[in-house]
Structure 1
Amino acid sequence: MRRRLLAEFVGTALLVTVVVGSGIMAQTLSPDDVGLQLLQNSTATVLGLAVLILILGPVSGAHFNPVVSLADWWQGRRTGTGLSVRDLGGYALAQVLGAIGGSVLANAMFDRPAITWSTHDRAAPYLWLGEVVATAGLVLVIFCLVRSGRTTAAPAAVAAYIGAAYWFTSSTSFANPAVTIGRAFTDSFAGIAPSSVPGFVVAQLIGCVIGLLLVHGLFGSRKPADQFSGGTAGADQRG
C-alpha cells in the first residue's frame, strides 16, 4: 500500500507540474495568443499524462484522480474487487497532496513564489456543465475499457480524451478534484480561483455519477470476473 500511495502522490504531482508548468511556459512564449497557449498546454498534458499512466499504472493503477478512485470503489464494493474504503481515503489524500506539491514545484521552477493563489475566476453555470461533461466522459472512457478488457489501451485513450476535452468543453476539462485544488495554488494560465474550486468539485462528482450510470447502461451489472485491479492500467494490488 505504501508503494501505491507513493505512486499516486508522485503521479498526481507530476501531472499538475506538467499542466501548470506548460501553462506558464505557454504564457511566456505566446503572451498575446490565448488559443496558442491552450494548444501548447493541452499538448504537453496529453503527452505527460500518457507517460505517467504507462509507467505508474502497474504500481497503483495510475488513478491520479479522486473521481476515478471513487468510481473504482463503487464498481467493486459488492464483489470485493477494486479499492476498499480505507484505500479510497488514502488514494484521495495522496492525490490532493501531490497536486498541491506539483503546483508549488511548477511555480518554483519558473521563479515564482511557491504559493500564489489564483485570481482566475471560473464560477459560472456553463463552466460547471463543461466539468460535468468532461468528468462523465472520462469515467465512461476508463470503465468502458475496463469492462471490455482493454485496459492496455488506457494510456493512449485517456490522454487522448483529456486532450480533446481541453478543446470541446467550456471549462477546458479539469475533470479531477485533486488537480482542481492543486491549480488553485498558482496564479497562472492553468489556475483557478479558490472560490471557484467547490463548484468545480461538485460538478465533477455529478459527472462521475452520470459516467457510472452510462457504463452500467452499456455493459449491465458488473460481474465478479470484471476486476478493475485498482487502476486504469491494470495495477498489481499486492500491498
Structure 2
Amino acid sequence: LDGNVKRVFARHFLIEGWTGTPTIQKHLWSIAERENPASDAIAYTQGLMDLGATLCKRSKPTCESCPLQSTCLAFAKHKTHLLPTPKPKKPIPKKETTMLIIRMGDEVLLEKRPQKGIWAGLWSLPETSVTDIASEVAKEKFGLITEPDETLAIIHHAFTHYKLAITPQPLQVINPPKQKEMAGYLWMNIDHAIGAALPTPVRNILLILNSQLTTEKRISFG
C-alpha cells in the first residue's frame, strides 16, 4: 500500500501499531479490499493518495478541510497526531568496562589508544573487563603491586551505536617499578593529564579523582 493511503487508513479507522508489522499490514490490506469500490477503483485509489498527500499529512494534518472528518475515528478520539504509530526505535546496545586509575603519587598511568576504533590515537586509562580483579590485572599486565581504593561512581557515555558504562577503579602503587617507561604507556601528572588529549569521560574521571585528592590533602593539613 502507498504510504499516504496507510496514513489515511490508520487515522480513519484508528489502527494503532507500526504499519510495517505483518499483522498491521494484513489488517490494512483487508480494509483496502473491503473499501475498494466495484467501479472507478483507479479514481478512488488516486483520491486516497491525494488526500494523504494534501490534507492527511504526516505532520500538521488539515482536519478541518478533510471530507472524511465526520467519520474519522482518530479525529474523534483526538489521536490524529499519534497516528500512524512511528516505527519503534531499535534498543541501543549497552556495554560495560572497568578503567584502571593506576596512581603512583601524583602521577597516573595512561595508555595510548589504537589508531583505529573509538578514541583513536588518544591517551586513555587502561581498561579491563568488569569481571576481572583490578589489582590482579595491574600485576599481570604491568608487574605492579597495587592497593585498590574505593571505586568511583559509574560514568555513562553514549556513542552513536551503543552506550558505555565505565566503572573507574583507583589503584595505588605500593611497589614503584624500577623501569617506568613502557611502550604505549605513559606516567603523567594528574593535573597535566587532565589537560592532555583525553576522551571526555576519561577527563571527567580524572577531574573527579583530582577533586577527591585535593579534599583529602586539605583535611590532612587541616
TM-score band (shorter)? Answer: under 0.3
More strand by share: 2
- Please give the TM-score of this superposition, normalised by the length of structure 2: 0.23
Task: Tell me which structure has the larger Cα radius of gyration.
Answer: 2
More helix by share: 1
